[in-house]
Amino acid sequence: MTAGLNNYLVLSAVLFSIGLYGALSRKNAVVVLMCVEIMLNAANLSLVAFSRFVTPVALSGQTVAIFSITAAAAEVAVGLAVVIALYRQRGTVDVNDINLLKW
């Protein structure tokens, strides 16, 4: 038995939902960034799966995935830098404690 497009899409949707749930419910900013990585990789998975099954000759989906890995790396690098800056200023990375600005 080989996995078809549907299997990959379901896996990707499940991963995306897990990542989204984690990103919205976790308190630690670093863990939120890790959950975002799960979401991005879920999207990459569905891109590659679509590319494999819908356009098997052209590698367009794989190319997008490579570039999105780069973008994700840059995003997380800046994200971690901001987390460090926040820790230096406020001594916490708990997203529940960053509440100077509201309403």
Among 101, 43, 103, 98, CA closest to 72: 43
Q: Which amino acid is at 57?
A: V
Q: Which residues is 28 bridged to in the sheet?
A: 94
Among 6, 10, 51, 57, binds another protein (CB under 8 A): 51
Angstrom distance (rounded) from CA 8 to CA 48: 9
Neighbours of 36 (CB within 10 A): 18
Site for another protein in 68-87 (CB under 8 A): 68-87
CA distances from 29 to 33, 87, 93 (A): 6, 10, 6
Least distance to another protein, CB of residue 11, Å: 13
Site for another protein in 8-37 (CB under 8 A): 9, 12, 16, 19-20, 23-24, 29, 32-33, 36
Least distance to another protein, CB of residue 26, Å: 10
Question: Residues in the site for another protein, rule: CB under 8 A?
Answer: 1, 9, 12, 16, 19-20, 23-24, 29, 32-33, 36, 39-40, 42-44, 46-47, 49-51, 54-55, 60-61, 63-64, 66-90, 95, 98, 100-103
